[in-house]
Amino acid sequence: MANLGIPQNTIAVLQKYNFNFQKKFGQNFLIDTNVLNKIIAAAQITKEDCVLEIGPGIGTMTQYLAESAGAVVAVEIDRALIPVLQDTLSEYDNVTVINDDILRLDINRIVQEKNAGSPIKVVANLPYYITTPIIMGLFESHVPLKSITVMVQKEVADRMQVGPGRKDYGALSLAVQYYAKPKIVANVPPNCFIPRPNVGSAVICLTRYEEPPVGVKDEQRLFSIIRAAFNQRRKTLVNALVNAQNLSFSKEQIVQALSQMELSATVRGEALTLEQFAELSNRL
């Protein structure tokens, strides 16, 4: 089968199937062999690996994954692409294509069936409008994962790896850094896709921690506090937490906990590190 990382081969497949891009699925197909090789290298795919690919499109990256991995499970929401994938991946006997919505799929079951419950790697060129729910869903459902290597909007990749005091720093930064070590491995301009997106993209590799870098008594409470802190990021942390619907701490409790941590009552959430949020959560 022709290498779909080469633009004219992608165009030929799209014409053969009279394929129409679906805006609702955020479809932008990668047409750059350099970038594809960088993704496979960054994810360190070997024949030992079972890889979950989200949104394979016409199978461009799936071909690269099938060459390098032991097994690939590709989950595609667009039914119109299933016959295309059956064609472009016909040479590979180590690929399973599933027509489903990744947000509704029981991924733990797939890991059991395809990899005997051992950790998998996730690799994807993600639809930008649902990047965060997909990544957080993978982490929060505690799917056995080694790493997630994904193409996302550049500003989202930046947000995942920044620290306190930066305007991009927020709940997503903290959530990702609680579960994984983030590293941007490539910046990708719009001309590497068909159709061209309106924004720059980046490939980020999130290497899952065996144990989170901070100890918390209650993970859910930690994330409720973090979300509340950034829902009203112009407010002081004290006011943001007092106003949060799903938290029931008094102003006095919060001020006291901050003072025990030698933090001012007027501090804002964006100034706290992950360690400080964890300590605050434990004290409260």
The pTM assigned to this predicted structure is 0.91
Amino acid identity, residue 225? I
Amino acid identity, residue 104? R
> Coil, strand, or helix at residue 196?
coil
> How high does pLDDT run on average in the chain?
94
Distance CA 226, CA 170 (A): 8
Q: Name the residue among 168, 175, 185, 183 with its Cα closest to residue 139.
A: 175
> Coil, strand, or helix at residue 50?
strand
Query: What is the pLDDT at residue 27?
Result: 83
Distance CA 22, CA 74 (A): 18
Q: Are residues 100 and 160 in the same domain?
A: yes
Query: What is the pLDDT at residue 18?
Result: 83
Distance CA 168, CA 162 (A): 7
Give the H/E segment covering residue 282.
helix 274-283
Determine the structural domain holding residue 118 and report its residue range.
Answer: 7-208
Any domain includes 2: no
Q: Are residues 182 and 247 in the same domain?
A: no
Q: Are residues 77 and 151 in the same domain?
A: yes
CA dist list (Å): 171 to 81, 116, 160: 34, 33, 9
Token readout for 138 is: 């993978």
pLDDT interval class at 126 (50, 70, 90): confident
Q: Are residues 20 and 140 in the same domain?
A: yes
pLDDT interval class at 256 (50, 70, 90): very high
What's the average model confidence in pLDDT over 242-262? 95
CATH of the domain at 188: 3.40.50.150
What's the pLDDT tens digit per position in 160-192?
Answer: 999 998 989 999 999 999 999 999 999 999 999
What total number of domains does the chain contain?
2
Pair 7, 194: CB distance under 8 Å: yes
Query: What is the pLDDT at residue 203?
Result: 97
Pair 60, 36: CB distance under 8 Å: yes
Token readout for 127 is: 């639809």
Q: Say which range, 37-41, 54-58, 122-126, 129-133, has the weakest mean pLDDT.
A: 129-133
Q: Are residues 80 and 27 in the same domain?
A: yes
Pair 63, 88: CB distance under 8 Å: yes
Q: Are residues 186 and 229 in the same domain?
A: no
> Coil, strand, or helix at residue 156?
helix
Asked whether residue 22 carries a pLDDT value surpassing 90, the answer given is: no
What's the average model confidence in pLDDT over 242-253? 93
CA dist list (Å): 175 to 35, 160, 219: 27, 8, 10
Any domain includes 213: no
What's the average model confidence in pLDDT over 215-228? 95
pLDDT interval class at 129 (50, 70, 90): confident
Question: Cα torsion for 14, 78, 126, 228, to the nearest 10°?
Answer: 150
Q: Are residues 243 and 153 in the same domain?
A: no
Q: Are residues 204 and 223 in the same domain?
A: no
What's the average model confidence in pLDDT over 23-43? 90
Query: What is the pLDDT at residue 21?
Result: 75
